[in-house]
Amino acid sequence: MTDGKRLHGATVVIMLLTRLRDFIIPIIIAFFIGSTGGGIGLFAMIALPLLLVFFGIYSFLYWWTYWYRVEDQELHVKQGIIVKKHRYIQRKRVQSFDMSAGILQRMFGLVKVQIETAGGGSEPDVHLIALDRAEAKRLRQNLLAKPAAPAEDEEVDPSEMTEGEEAEELEPEIEASWALGFKHLLFAGMTSGGVGLVLSAVLALFSQVDVLLPEAFYETTIGFVLSSTITFLLIAIFLIAFFAWLISIAITIVKYGQFTVVKRGNDLVISRGLLERKQLTLKVHRITAVRFVTGILRQPFGFTTIYVESKGGGSADEQQSTILVPLVNRRKANDVLGKFLPEFVVDDDVGIKPLPRRALFRYIIRAIVPIVLVVIPLSIVLPFGAYALLLILLGIFLGWLRHRNGGFNVSGDYLILQWRLFNLNRAVLPRKRIQAADVTQSPLQRWRRLSTYSVSILSSMSGKSFEIRDITAGRGEDLLAWYSKEVDNPNFSREEEKDKSPI
């Protein structure tokens, strides 16, 4: 391909800086280890310059050999320094167009583009590291928007149109918009539950640099902890958790700052981020399900998060889903959802059919088994480990809560599933978007006259499944008949119904 387009020339610098950023911790460790002899070390004198030259040459060759173009309703990408790779993506197969600007892209006034198709896996099908913003918008229009038909008497060749003309003509009017205010953003950070992730990141970082710490540090620290009182240790744990909580708030603000959703015709444009500004475009008709996720900390205040499942557009840190609204009062959630996806609005009065009482024991067992496997060894090894056995009571409560909040219902052509692991989830799935439905029974379930009902939909990866465990066997068969259109409205009235959803 000789008449395609290259990425922006700043790609070379951005790739070089990205590689150095990815290797910064190993480089620092190797630098200090190489300096133990008293000088600057062999690594700093030889290895580091060679590493910089290698990354520089690789980045240049990557940019030099990467081409792309759109023609004949296809996106054609050619890449590869040694092994050449050609990729053709039909325009109608493009599921999402993610345009973002990280710190490195912002330094040059550029954007990064990720293009996904259904079934493309966890990584985007096309990753354009640096493009001029106008070029990125033109590419998005070429791939997603329906081209305007030229008048018969003035046929225009698209290649002759200027960048501004093409973008303005194809961009539809804004039909609806929603923005996350700062108060809600701050509350979202305070209740995000990201403390555990921050602590995990700190421990992972510590595991990378512990070789630099002297052995005396470990001996002093462990001796100090063992000699401390319970009160001091509790205060120390509280302070660590408090600072981790503050960090998680800051991360949420940076990640979801300036969050806006705009609907233009068949497109949902979701923008967010303070440092790295992301803009994701989803096709409305490719959204397969909507989920309301209510965190434990948010539930007492009546707030929830709205996710959408789409054939393309999901991210790994959001379980391959996409956040449509980060935080909204549950009573107003349907109003906000109705502005963008009115076909997914199901009245809360529909209610949830509860799980049978005979399933409660199974939910409790499933909740306490992982806890028992951890706390019993701790109770034997640690001096005060016996207190950890109290966590079993917490497991019993969690199992009871999962059973109490689990349920399902059918409203016309929509299936509603509700379950809880820790957060409370409620999914709304149109029957026409469900790819498959299954009812399974284990021997114990058969003995207890229970079953598990599961459905599969298309999402950003190959697919996603939702299930509700331990419903009565008869209701599982009713749901299967509803999916196969043998009945339009299953008769669930013979068993008790929950009047109101807890979310």
C-alpha 286/C-alpha 119 separation (Å) is: 13
Q: Residue 321: helix, strand or coil by DSSP?
A: strand
Q: For 353-488, CATH number? A: 2.30.29.30
Q: What percent of the chain is helix, strand and coil (3-state, nearest 5)? A: 45, 25, 25
Cα separations in angstroms, 490 against 153, 409, 415, 465: 58, 9, 11, 22
Q: Could you write out the DSSP letters of every residue in 129-191?
A: EEEEHHHHHHHHHHHHSPPPPPPTTS---GGGS-HHHHHHHH-PPEEEEEE--HHHHHHHHHT
- Model pLDDT, residue 500: 44
Sheet (strand 464-472) strand order: 434-440, 450-457, 464-472
Q: Could you write out the DSSP letters of every residue in 430-473?
A: EGGGEEEEEEE--HHHHHTTEEEEEEEE--SSS-EEEEEEEEEH
Sequence-separated (6 or more) residues with CB below 8 Å from residue 495: 353, 354, 356, 472, 475
The answer to whether residues 312 and 117 touch, using CB atoms and an 8 Å cutoff, is yes
Over the chain (503 residues), the average pLDDT of each successive run of 10 is: 77 86 70 56 70 87 88 83 83 80 83 76 76 87 65 45 46 85 90 74 65 65 69 80 86 90 89 84 87 90 91 63 90 92 87 91 93 84 76 92 93 92 93 91 90 86 84 90 85 55 45
- Model pLDDT, residue 37: 52
Expressed in angstroms, the distance from the first to the final Cα of the chain is 55
Cα separations in angstroms, 461 against 38, 118, 128, 474: 52, 6, 20, 32
Q: Are strands 94-101 and 277-283 parallel, antiparallel or unpaired?
A: antiparallel
Cα separations in angstroms, 429 against 24, 115, 411, 484, 498: 45, 25, 10, 15, 20
C-alpha 409/C-alpha 428 separation (Å) is: 10
- Model pLDDT, residue 178: 93
Q: Are strands 277-283 and 287-294 parallel, antiparallel or unpaired?
A: unpaired
Residue 381 tokens read as 């090894």
Q: Residue 98: helix, strand or coil by DSSP?
A: strand
Q: Could you write out the DSSP letters of every residue in 389-431?
A: GGHHHHHHHHHHHHHHH-EEEEETTEEEEEEESSSEEEEEEEG
Please report, for the chain, the start and end positions of each structural domain, with discontinuous segments joined by +.
5-145, 177-344, 353-488
CB < 8 Å & 24+ apart, contacts of 111-116: 111/136, 113/139, 113/140, 115/75, 115/89, 115/143, 116/312, 116/313, 116/460
